[in-house]
Structure 1
Amino acid sequence: MPVTGGIDVRGTVAQGYEEVRDEFAAVLAREPDGLDAQLAVHRRGHRVVDLWGGPEASGDSLFGLYSSAKGAAHLIVAMLVQDGVLDLDRTVAHYWPEFAAGGKGSVTLRQLLAHQAGVVGVDGGLTLAELADDRLLAARLAAQEPYWTPGTAYGYHGFVIGALTGEVVRRVTGRSIQELYEEWVRVPFGLDFHLGLPEALEPRYLPVQPVRRTPDQHEAPAPAPGSVVAVAFNLDADPPTDLVDFANSRAVRALGPASTGGVGSARGLAAMYAAAIGVLDGRPPLLRPDTVAEFARLHTPGVDLVTGERDHFGLGFEAQGRRYPFLGPDAFGHSGAVGAQSFADPGSGIAYAYTRRRFAFGGGGGAPENHRLGASVLRAAAATD
């Protein structure tokens, strides 16, 4: 159990990655009340970082990782596009006729994956039961008029994108994204990242904790009722969605909604991205380089109407090279609301996952410490070439 700077950091790093352990210790040291967190990294199919720390965490602990689910869901979509089962430039209504209602008939699958469809929620909000169940959610969304003219702008479809793309997948394959992820990815690679957490694994789940603010940190003003931001974060619902309660709901964990229901460990997430871009456990990469290039390249220049972030998305995945300058232009992945971050960087062969139990203040998509943690990983990788 290495103690770095008085902080108990557990786990291992490969030779040359000691700086990463020190940076992880510094993250834990900045949380005086203790932070349960994990960091895992693969390099070209080999795990080179496996760290955890905090009062209750182990390397096997499972955290509520919210939109990290979108990475798993859209890995399945990318595989279906790669195999010719789905066509990015077909309309969504070609696969799912009911989606054409409300003026959405011309929306393509490419536009949907790039968060350009304008269907970020529904008028009046959604219930917890609807947010937890992708089939119920898709049925509500099909009739909704878009909140902007599709294709003219983009905004984060945070609670709903997985249900929308998932319904396309269901109409074509007869299977849910969750079922395909389980069969094609999670089980073959033994991944500890779940879209639908079995009851037997519940004892390993550490409930999400709310953010702890210092006296000088102030909560941002609530968005105006009826605004695109309020709709996207389901704040017009009665009651408004509380993100901590959402992940800590057994119904959400059991059903594993493809937008928001990811539960797992850093080990599981990092291995998933390692499998996407390289050989893992003797199995070939899940995605070809041309598929990665198409799904990772920026599809959304300009400002996200929901988050305010610039140059935010590829297809389904966040364009991580735009967020983190130390990554290559074809880096892709997805953050999770609690501050989690995960990505693959094909150029360096890095697959990275950081998980944390408590919401981060000012984290947005991925807690701020991911900038320093990720940069230390890339420096170590370059130094060990």
Structure 2
Amino acid sequence: MASAEPMEAPICLVENKNEELMVNQQALRILSSISNPVMVVAIAGLYRTGKSYLMNRLAGKNTGFSLGSTVQSHTKGIWMWCVPHPSKPDHALVLLDTEGLGDVEKGDSKNDSWIFALAILLSSTFVYNSVSTINHQALEQMQYVTELTELIKVKSSPDALGGEDSAEFVGFFPDFVWTVRDFTLELELDGHPITSDQYLENALKLSKGLGKLLETYVKTISSGAIPCLENAVLALAETENPAAIQKATNHYVEQMVLKVDFPTETLQDLLNLHTDCEKEAISIFMKHSFKDDTHKFQKELVQILESKKDDFIHQNEEESTKYCQTKLEDLSQTLTEAISQGTFSVPGGYRLYRKEREKMMNNYHQVPRKGVKADEVLQRFLQSLAMTEESILQTDQALTEQEKAMEGRGGWSMMT
């Protein structure tokens, strides 16, 4: 179990003092520190029916949850014990032992109902513990289950309690297991023998976000209001999904930095890497997201990734520009020095200049991985030479005309 604090024994998770429920922050920190998938089994039932003993057996221990030998209830509130899952590696099993129902020492049974409701809301498997057979008396004791219709709301809007909307939230309620202790009848079903172990088969299922849900439920109950499943789920979604977005975004940025070799030869090369990293990021988001049925948070993630992509495109362009400018400065050094030294200020100098410029451009075209700004940087460089090029041309033309004139005059003198 990946927990910051090893649990050698159970700890009180929800304290029931003076008919008020309060979350034990130390226990909450332990619960929140678990990074592995969590399966939660809660047990409820009449006091002094052996609930704590059963939970100790589920933990694979003989002792742990307090056992009582008198008519006085030992377990107050809800006690928690986090142990490694016995059959699923890298999974944690969270056992919740609840205060016994129907304790005669309690003057008000309202807290019984709230303890029962919290056990239902927090667990992925809910065990109701009773003794002897499932008879009329046992059914009467299950009145707390029917009372949950008044203690838990599925939807916050009164007009949104239709079958379709309510069915959407069925998945948030736990599997129900009724454990009958000291069973007196034959273990037989449809003429076939069964074992007590079959009561617990397929019992443990994943439940996530239990620490935040617990705080939400207890805070609501303590305020005197009725806990609403929809509101609690939405509150959890508002907490969990931004964190999932951040994890996905961080992965995208890390992978892009790792995979992109700036500058890329083409824009499409960069976009292909973006597509791959985006898929990975969305997959991570889906793994860590919670109840994003409308894809609100996933759309937000996509927008963030688009913005990050634009940043990488901009960086790719800057890297290409910087690299190409550096290469051009090196390759044009001979041409620039020749211009400064007046090498082309001679008759026919423009032809010499064009030849040297062509040589420089061919060398530039041979440079690999110049990136998306290669042509743009070259064109800007050539434009910067435009005035110099025009000056060389005019000088060449003037000197050539002068040379021709000189030759013309020299030829006339010889004829005369």
Give the structure-1-normalised TM-score.
Answer: 0.22
Q: Which has the higher helix share?
A: 2
Q: Which structure has the higher relative contact order (CA within 8 Å, separation 6+)?
A: 1
Give the structure-2-normalised TM-score.
Answer: 0.21
Q: Which has the larger radius of gyration?
A: 2
